[in-house]
Amino acid sequence: MSTGQTRSRDTMGKVGGLAPEFLASPELLDAVSPSAERGGMLIGSDPRNEPASVSLLRPLPTRVVALGGLYLARQLALRALAVGALVIIATGRPQAWQALSQATMTGPNERPLPVVSIRRLSPIELPDGTEDNPVLVVHDGGATPVELLPPRTPWQTTMYVLPYLHPQAGSLAVNADLVLIQRLQAAQAQLAARIWRLNPAMVNELAQLRDDHVLAFGQDLWMPIRLITNEGEKKILGPVRRGD
């Protein structure tokens, strides 16, 4: 794993989308105000206290691993909604994701907007994504997920939610384009070292992350990020935390 300060960022354009268009309520916009800068999704601040973004939605089929618990995965899904993504959640624990559906309720009848779909863990046909309407598939299938919904087309991302690092998830983890990790216990950090061939300094950093920090890494990327949660997100998700 190489270390570096930056990762190439994807440019954003103006191309009509095939996924459903929607109008968000002012309340939803207040809660998950658009959090993307050109070429990335803003998720927090870097060690210099400057804005830190990651390429979660790209013009390439993309695999992302979110390791550490539900809070991180749900915040990323909220941020994806804020930039116009269609979010499809495949999970065996639908109640854990109801907060996202409730956050999109709008109108006199309080009906959810057609931008969040919570489904069982089974193969489905995915809609095509575009620059204006990318698709984020959240695969919440435990520590050893089967690739039921792999990304296949541009502007389609599958994010695998791993509650902890398991040796059988090594292949999936190594092939991910982006990995976001919250603090690991010592044994887990050593397993991460074997899977990603991390040096001792990297392992030590993973084991000492604060509760409100994640480590983002991928090709030419190794960066600790302090998660920033606005008041609207706190009402939906609660305070920043690790674990489920």
Residues contacting residue 88 through CB under 8 Å, at least 6 positions apart: 117, 119, 124, 126, 135, 136, 137, 138, 149
Percent of the chain surpassing pLDDT 70? 80
Our count of domains for the chain comes to 1
**CA 183 remoteness from chain centre:** 16
CATH of the domain at 78: 3.40.50.300
Domain around 171? 26-236
Domain annotation covers residue 20: no
Domain annotation covers residue 17: no
Domain annotation covers residue 7: no
User: Could you report the per-residue pLDDT of 123-135, keeping only the tens digit for each?
Assistant: 999 999 999 999 9
User: Could you report the per-residue pLDDT of 27-86, keeping only the tens digit for each?
Assistant: 444 444 444 444 478 899 999 999 999 989 999 999 999 998 899 999 999 999 888 899
